[in-house]
Chain A
């Protein structure tokens, strides 16, 4: 929140009322507090590089601040933020030097900070999900994450991905089949 508020403070008011801008800054900072970790995880899964994902997370919330007038107050904020985050991730991936496919499988993703049993389960989950995500195309990976990791509705996923509802359902169905297959391999 501190980083974000500093960054938001650098944005000029552009003629808007100071109080309105300050209120919007505080609102975006609150959204960061509520959704920042999820957005960062989503971006990390899409981009692969944790430090790039951290930058992309900040960029996501800066854009949310700049685009606040486009926010539909009748809808939840999470799909709006994930939509911005996905656009940022696409730009980051286009901009960086072409490398191998993004791979998310890594033991380093699961630091020990709980009981031995929960750490073991956590590391196992990181490995299984990471292996499944590595088998998916970028779009399918994003859709699976939005559905299973972040609990978005199919309609919201279709809207933010720019796909039809039917396509989203089919893609997530197929991604889940791959996830189940990966899970079965680990259980054998």
Chain B
């Protein structure tokens, strides 16, 4: 680790947390200070290790599963009702076919739902994001944080995960 008094500050270069003249001054210092260069490299290696780990770990499993579930799946409901009605006289057949219906329903859910409308999903997500942005705009300081991402509006919210204020600037930019 560096013995330089700027050792902790240079980490902020890797995090993109310094801007303008402060950033230029730190970059100039790092260019001249071998200790800080080594410290910066070590910090970036460690961050990379954590980033690889984060990629390998699952997001919240329940959230993912439910994000793919349609609020109402009439096809599945109707199918289960049909199977129950048709085979209610035979407990064994009923059980087997009900199990098959459940398996089909599970496969339907896991696969994201063959009959699910991606337009519906997009509309619901867009509604939430549009409502949310109005409120997020109230979080924004006078000078919003820079957002380097130029992806579509839908992706901006996730792209700016480090700081929701960046969403506000991205929104401002897209409105200009």
Interface residues of A (CB under 8 A from B): 1-3, 5, 22-24, 26-27, 29-31, 33-38, 40-41, 44, 50, 54, 57, 71, 73-74, 76-78, 109-111, 114, 118-119, 121-126, 128-129, 148-149, 151, 153-154, 169, 173, 176-177, 179-180, 183
Interface of chain B: mostly helix, strand, loop or mixed: helix
B133 nearest CB neighbor, chain A only: A30
Query: Which of B1, B42, B53 makes the CB contact (< 8 A) with A129?
Result: B53
Residue of A nearest to B68 (CB): A2
Residues of B within 8 A of A (CB-CB), count: 47
> Which residues on B sit within 8 Å (CB–CB) of A121?
52, 56
Could you name 29 residue pairs across A and B whose Cβ atoms are closer than 8 Å?
A: A2-B66, A2-B69, A3-B62, A26-B128, A27-B131, A27-B135, A29-B132, A30-B135, A37-B60, A38-B54, A40-B59, A41-B57, A54-B61, A57-B60, A73-B138, A73-B141, A77-B139, A77-B164, A111-B56, A111-B58, A122-B52, A123-B56, A124-B52, A129-B53, A148-B47, A153-B17, A176-B1, A179-B46, A183-B49
Residues of A within 8 Å of B138, CB to CB, are 73
- Name the CB-closest residue of A to B71: A2
CA distance A16 to B76 in the complex (A): 40
Cα–Cα, bound, A3→B71 (Å):
11
- Contact B54–A41 (Cβ < 8 Å): yes
Q: Once the chains bind, are A76 and B165 in contact (CB under 8 Å)?
A: yes
Residue B50 is within 8 A (CB to CB) of chain A in the complex: yes
Interface residues, chain B, CB within 8 Å of chain A?
A: 1, 8, 12, 15, 17, 42, 46-47, 49-50, 52-63, 66-67, 69, 128-129, 131-136, 138-141, 145, 157-158, 160-165, 167
Q: Is the beta-carbon distance between A153 and B49 smaller than 8 angstroms?
A: no
CB nearest neighbor in B for A68:
B135
Closest to B140 in A: A73
Q: In the complex the two chains form, what is the Cα distance from A173 to B138 in whole Å?
A: 36
Would you call A126 and B56 a contact (CB within 8 A)?
yes
Residues of A near B164 (CB, < 8 A) are 30-31, 34, 76-77
The residues of B that contact A119 with a CB separation of less than 8 Å are 56
A111 to B115, CA, bound (A): 28
Scoring A33, A71, A153 by chain B CB atoms within 10 A of each residue's CB, the highest score goes to A33
Q: Which residues of B contact A176 (CB under 8 A)?
A: 1, 42, 46
